[in-house]
């Protein structure tokens, strides 16, 4: 299965049957912190608002460690949406504030919110992982560990299994590329993550699960196509605005033509880059043709 799809991700990381997979992922992610997760208890993914005008939350995965010592949220996000940063803070804050009880103390338990994202933030450095906490911006001392948001950037995954030197590299590589693998793949033959491959086999799905997975995968394709459409629409708008600006400023015709040619070349590069990415994701050639317009 494609673990980037909503169904497959929640099945492997948010179900009692596959709990050991989530536990292994968390222990690899938290290895440097000395935090060991022995077990988790899954909780209701839906959090209703406190008032009629409030906003409902629907987590992908919400669980706690024994004794509710740690609250852990795991989310998959394939494409960037406006105000996504605000949503991450809201999700984490809600899980923290919901621990408060009338007449109780402020003995709150830390909330770890893990986002597996397939994009980068324009305002932050491009790297494989961002670990966000409440810190002093001058001394970089941690003020509080109660709110911690970890962003795993899947777009920075190693290009091949041979390049993966750590367990973290390997598990992220598998999450990103599972749907391209089979029993002949080097990751499978390594025997290091047998539970991931076993639970991801499409042939092991019940009939209703197979239908749900196919629907989820189609939604994944649609999201990619929507992103491409938005990108092309924004490109067209920018090109038209550039033309109008050039005319208003009375620029020479040759400069205007040169700009248009440059924009066309840029658009062609974008189409080729998108087609390459879709091909790497295992998308059918006919689907790539419909999205990009590049000939079969």
- Using the structure block, give the residue that is written with the tokens 């950037």: 153
pLDDT at 264: 61
Are the C-beta atoms of residues 55 and 7 closer than 8 Å to each other?
no
- Report whether pLDDT(134) > 90: yes
* C-beta separation of 6 from 216 below 8 A: yes
pLDDT at 190 over 90: yes
Range 96-112 average pLDDT? 85
DSSP 8-state secondary structure symbol assigned to residue 283? -
- The tokens for 14 are 């948010």
Select, from the ranges 141-145, 263-267, 290-294, the one with the highest average predicted confidence (pLDDT): 141-145
**Cβ atoms < 10 Å from Cβ of 187:** 20
- pLDDT tens by residue, 194-226: 999 999 998 888 888 888 998 888 888 887 777
Q: Using an 8 Å Cβ cutoff, are 75 and 118 in contact?
A: no
Identify the H or E element spanning 58.
strand 57-58
- Model confidence at 42: pLDDT above 70: yes
60 neighbors 77 (Cβ within 8 angstroms): no
Express each pLDDT in 245-254 by its tens digit: 655 655 555 5
pLDDT of residue 54: 77
Percent over 70 (pLDDT), the chain = 84
Q: What is the pLDDT of residue 141?
A: 96
Q: pTM to 2 decimals?
A: 0.75
DSSP structure class, residue 252:
-
How far apart are the C-alpha atoms of 77 and 235, rounded to whole Å? Answer: 24
Q: What whole-number distance in Å separates Cα of residue 291 and Cα of residue 296?
A: 12
- Residue 285: pLDDT above 70? yes
**Band (278; pLDDT cuts 50, 70, 90):** confident
Question: Regarding predicted confidence, which is higher, 234 or 148?
Answer: 148
Rounded CA-CA distance 117/153 in Å is: 5
Report whether pLDDT(35) > 60. Answer: yes
100 Cβ contact list (under 8 Å, min separation 6) = 106, 108
Answer yes or no: is pLDDT of 235 > 70. no
Please report the beta strands in 91-215, taking only residues with DSSP state E, as ranges in sequence order. Answer: 111-117, 129-135, 142-153
Determine the 3-state secondary structure of 114 from DSSP: strand
Model pLDDT, residue 105 = 79
């Amino acid at each position: 299965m494609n673990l980037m799809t909503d169904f497959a991700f929640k099945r492997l990381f948010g179900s009692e049957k596959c709990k050991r997979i989530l536990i292994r992922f968390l222990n690899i992610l938290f290895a440097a912190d000395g935090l060991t997760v022995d077990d988790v208890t899954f909780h209701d993914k839906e959090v209703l608002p406190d008032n009629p005008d409030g906003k409902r939350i629907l987590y992908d995965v919400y669980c706690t460690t024994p004794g509710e010592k740690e609250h852990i949220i795991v989310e998959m996000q394939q494409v960037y949406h406006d105000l996504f940063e605000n949503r991450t803070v809201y999700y984490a804050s809600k899980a923290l504030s919901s621990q408060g009880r009338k007449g109780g103390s402020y003995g709150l338990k830390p909330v770890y919110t893990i986002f597996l994202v397939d994009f980068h933030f324009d305002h932050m450095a491009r790297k494989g992982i961002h670990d966000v906490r409440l810190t002093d911006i001058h001394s970089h001392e941690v003020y509080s560990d109660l709110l911690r948001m970890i962003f795993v950037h899947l777009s920075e995954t190693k290009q091949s299994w041979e390049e993966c030197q750590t367990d973290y590299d390997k598990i992220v590589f598998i999450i990103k590329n599972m749907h391209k693998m089979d029993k002949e793949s080097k990751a499978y033959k390594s025997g290091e993550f047998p539970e991931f491959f076993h639970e991801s086999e499409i042939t092991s799905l019940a009939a209703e699960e197979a239908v749900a997975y196919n629907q989820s995968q189609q939604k994944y394709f649609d999201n990619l196509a929507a992103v491409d459409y938005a990108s092309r629409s924004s490109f067209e708008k920018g090109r038209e605005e550039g033309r109008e600006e050039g005319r208003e400023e009375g620029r020479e015709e040759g400069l205007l033509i040169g700009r248009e040619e440059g924009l066309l070349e840029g658009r062609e590069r974008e189409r080729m880059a998108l087609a390459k990415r879709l091909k790497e994701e295992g998308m059918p050639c006919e689907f790539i043709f419909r999205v990009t317009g590049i000939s079969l």
